[in-house]
Amino acid sequence: MHGKFDDLGRFADPSLLILTSLADGPKHGYAIMTDVAGFSGVRMEPGTLYGALSRLERRGWVRPLASAERRRPYQITAAGQEILAEQVTTMQQIVRVARLRTATAWGAP
């Protein structure tokens, strides 16, 4: 299920954050950075952002829109929404298992 993300290596987390940011509408680079910082507390640097954006674009998960001067907004594609949903399902599974196991370890009912 999450094999598609595996070859993104260390860019997996920024990619997930970017897809989440674009899920509610197109944004340009700096707006993505501030949005991600706002909802996750992760301060993404420009090099990381564009490294991940270029990979996401190459995979067809985001697409660039017409640029306004130097600012180019990006939009999540249908394939991107699909992969994001898959990732969220996987993460929910991880969270569920982690909660169960930590609850056991702490002796909670």
Partner 1 sequence: MSPELADRLSIFLVRCHPRRWRDRYAQEMLDVLDQHQATARTVLSLWASAVSAQLDPAYRTEALSPTRLRRAALITAVTLGPIVLMAGWLIGNDAWKDSHWHVGVEGGVTSMAFSPADPHILVTATSGSMDGLDTLWDVTDPARPKDLAGFEGGGPTTFSPDSRTVATVAFSGQPALWNVANPRKPARITTVPSGDDHILWGEAFSPDGRILAAAYTDRIYLWDVTDLARPRLLRWLAAPVTPVGPPPAPVPFYTRDIGFSPDGLLLASAAGRDQVALWDVADPAHAARIATLPGRGGFVSALAFSPGGKLLAGVGYHGIVTMFSLADLRHPRLVASLPMLVGRQLVNPCDCTEAMYTLAFSPNGRTLTAIADHPVPTEVNAPPYGPAPTQYARDFGFTWNVAAVPSVSLLGSFSRNVAACNGNSSLPLIAPDGRTVASGAPFSSFGVTVRTLPQPPS
Name the site residues for partner 1 (rule: CB under 8 A).
28-31, 33-35, 37-38, 43, 45-51, 53-54, 58, 67, 69-72
Q: How far apart are CA 64 and CA 67, in angstroms?
A: 8
Minimum CB distance to partner 1 smaller for 65 or for 103: 65
Rounded to the nearest whole angstrom, what is the least distance from the CB of residue 51 to partner 1 in the complex? Answer: 5
Distance in angstroms between the alpha carbons of the first and the last residue of the chain: 32
The beta-strand segments (E) located in 1-104 are: 62-64, 74-76
**Least distance from partner 1 to the Cβ atom of residue 29, Å:** 4
| Minimum CB–partner distance for residue 69 and partner 1 (Å) | 8
Shorter beta-carbon distance to partner 1: residue 18 or 53: 53
Candidates 9, 11, 51, 12; CA nearest to 29 is 51
